[in-house]
Structure 1
Amino acid sequence: MRRTMLFLPGNQPRMLMNGGLLGADSIIFDLEDAVAPDEKDAARHLVRNALKTLSFGTCEIIVRINALDTPFWEEDLREMLPLRPAVIMPTKVSGAGYIHTLEEKMTAIETAAGMEAGCTRIIPLLETAAGIENSFEIAGASRRMAALYLGAEDLTADLHCKRTKEGGEIAYARGRMVMAARAAGIEAYDTPFTDVEDMEGLRADALYAKSLGYTGKAVISPRHVDCVNEVFSPTAREIHDAQEVLRAIEQGKAQGKGAVSLHGKMIDAPIVERAKNVLKAAEDLGVLIHE
């Protein structure tokens, strides 16, 4: 599961060293926005050495590379892919053609390194109006596609509007992107909440994203990890209710019933599917207790 994806600036050695100890499910080594143009080479070397020499435990490794309209992205791939990160995160993705260009280069580098072609997944960062409008096309552009990720800071700049805590200005983008991801059969991850001090605001923002269907959320501060992990984890009550639903279904089948009710409410296919999703998440997190 990717409840949390924590950004780590590629030019900050101390944060890179502690990445596996901060509680995030995935850590994103950032070679793009967090790194000034004259520090790109140094950051790339720091991240390369970190991946070669350090253990990050069970954390999934993601590398955010520079955009394809910069002179940095190809070297990012050449340095990073042979170190076998689980995911490459391309930025400013605007359409399927962007993904096709990226995938062609990834396949060439993997093949030259003796790796299985296609073994590295892609989570594109959608942070422009074009990217949001083309989100379904992007979601289906490659078999490598693991998820879509929303980037609100650059998106609001592209929209010529102010980024707010309330998030009304990105409501359409959030809905459009999660719909595209689900229609394509992949996951969707929400944009970071950028006020490091406002924990109540963070929780409300994460709960809202979860209510829309997002699987998890990116974070820019280790302080946000525990809260977001909690929001995107099934609660004990949710697990109990899901188990009740599946027991009721099994009992109904055993009794030859065509329709089953629980606590006075009919159980239909969507309710069963949601219950299975809750229990799968609990199992993945190791918190499933069989009643």
Structure 2
Amino acid sequence: MPDYKLRRSLLYVPGNMPSMLQNIPIFNCDSVIIDLEDAVPLSEKDAARHLVKRFLMQYTDRNKELLVRINPLDTRWGYEDLKVVLPAMPDGIRLPKADTPEIVERLDTLLTEFEEELEVEIGRFGILPSLESALGVINAVGIARSSQRIFALAFGAEDYTASMEIERSRGGEELFNARTRVLWAAKANGIQALDTIFADVGDMEGLRAETELAKRLGYTGKCLVNPRQIEVVHEVFAPKKHEVEYALQVIEAIQRARQLGTGVISLGGKMVDAPVVKRAARVLRTAYAHGMVDTLIDEEAIHGAQ
């Protein structure tokens, strides 16, 4: 069965701030991205990666996914970031400036070399590429296919708008094409699509509106810059009660159809067929992760017995 890990919220935490690192266990987010790139001044990069390593080594009772955003591999810090932090066993690497498939392939090769050296399972470290330039968005499909380690694509609007020489607006109309292209690439390759940060931490209504837009498009998670944003994002990505109730009715209806030897049945005057069942199953998987239903839907309910 595919990985249905919940990644509604991915919170950035600066890698050079011990007080923030110490609070990671109590943050109610699904994933944390410990940042060694933009959040860390050049003069502190060496110290920050060692600080992050010590934190990860001590944080043994982990209650959330832990990713590390390294510096780009074409800088003098990127390889050293990997060398120092990978022995502390993060769950994966957030790769910034993932403009081409070749950059991701290079990271994949390096991760394999480190896994062999550390004597851990090959594929132990995942990759989350960040598409944050015009070139990265154009290459989205190739990037999504470039490594089996990739579990999601992340869209980075701040750097993208800079590369396009445009301003980012509150409504985000200028991001629509890029958001959609990243989303298509992710969905076509069966991985998650994660939306960009909303930088104004005081504008909760703006955050809610942007997250609702991302959800309507098909994104299943959002990157965050402040713990105060977590609750709003979780509320938006949680299925509505009526959606869960209808999904349960759909699964019950299709199970009746299986007993009758057909793949189609009517529910409330509307036809229930494979696409409707697939959407219902997705809602119930998310509801299960939110604790809204007790049982995770299985593949037999979707496709019928083999």
Cross-structure match for 1:9: 14
Cross-structure match for 2:176: 171
Match for 1:206 among 206, 211, 216?
Answer: 211
The answer to whether structure 1 residue 54 and structure 2 residue 59 are counterparts is yes
Is this contact kept in 2: 1:125–1:149, CA < 8 A? yes
Q: CA deviation at 1:244?
A: 0.5
Cross-structure match for 2:193: 188
CA shift digits 1:233-255 (9 cap, x unpaired) = 22222211100111111223334
Tell me how far apart the structure 1 counterparts of residues 55 and 278 of structure 2 sit (CA, whole Å): 41
Decide which moves more: 258-267 or 166-175.
258-267
Match for 1:119 among 121, 124, 129?
Answer: 124
Matched residues, percent identical?
A: 45
Match for 2:286 among 271, 281, 290?
Answer: 281
Match for 1:25 among 22, 30, 37?
Answer: 30
Cross-structure match for 1:227: 232
TM-score (ref. length: structure 1): 0.96
Change in Cα spacing, 1:129 to 1:250, as seen in structure 2 (3 Å) is: same
Q: CA deviation at 1:267?
A: 1.4
Tell me how far apart the structure 1 counterparts of residues 262 and 140 of structure 2 sit (CA, whole Å): 42
Counterpart AA for 1:47: V
Change in Cα spacing, 1:218 to 1:258, as seen in structure 2 (3 Å) is: closer
TM-score (ref. length: structure 2): 0.92
The answer to whether structure 1 residue 149 and structure 2 residue 160 are counterparts is no
Tell me how far apart the structure 2 counterparts of residues 281 and 219 of structure 1 sit (CA, whole Å): 20
Q: CA deviation at 1:260?
A: 1.4
Change in Cα spacing, 1:113 to 1:55, as seen in structure 2 (3 Å) is: closer
Tell me how far apart the structure 2 counterparts of residues 235 and 289 of structure 1 sit (CA, whole Å): 16
Tell me how far apart the structure 2 counterparts of residues 192 and 261 of structure 1 sit (CA, whole Å): 42
Match for 1:236 among 216, 219, 241?
Answer: 241
Decide which moves more: 257-266 or 176-185.
257-266
Decide which moves more: 256-265 or 133-142.
256-265
Cross-structure match for 1:96: 101
Change in Cα spacing, 1:55 to 1:160, as seen in structure 2 (3 Å) is: same
Which aligned runs of 4 or more in structure 1 are off by greater than 4 angstroms?
none
Cross-structure match for 2:75: 70
Aligned residues: 290
Counterpart AA for 1:287: M
Tell me how far apart the structure 2 counterparts of residues 258 and 270 of structure 1 sit (CA, whole Å): 11
Cross-structure match for 2:299: none
Q: CA deviation at 1:107?
A: 1.1
Counterpart AA for 1:281: T
Tell me how far apart the structure 2 counterparts of residues 56 and 181 of structure 1 sit (CA, whole Å): 31
Structure 2: state its 5+ residue gaps: 1-5, 296-306
Tell me how far apart the structure 2 counterparts of residues 215 and 144 of structure 1 sit (CA, whole Å): 19
Decide which moves more: 256-265 or 238-247.
256-265
CA shift digits 1:39-96 (9 cap, x unpaired) = 1011111111110113564210000000122100001001111111111011101111
Structure 1: state its 5+ residue gaps: none
The answer to whether structure 1 residue 162 and structure 2 residue 163 are counterparts is no
Change in Cα spacing, 1:77 to 1:229, as seen in structure 2 (3 Å) is: same
Tell me how far apart the structure 1 counterparts of residues 96 and 279 of structure 2 sit (CA, whole Å): 32
Tell me how far apart the structure 1 counterparts of residues 149 and 247 of structure 2 sit (CA, whole Å): 32
Q: CA deviation at 1:150?
A: 0.4
Is this contact kept in 1: 2:250–2:280, CA < 8 A? yes
Question: Helix, strand or coil: the match of 1:124?
Answer: strand
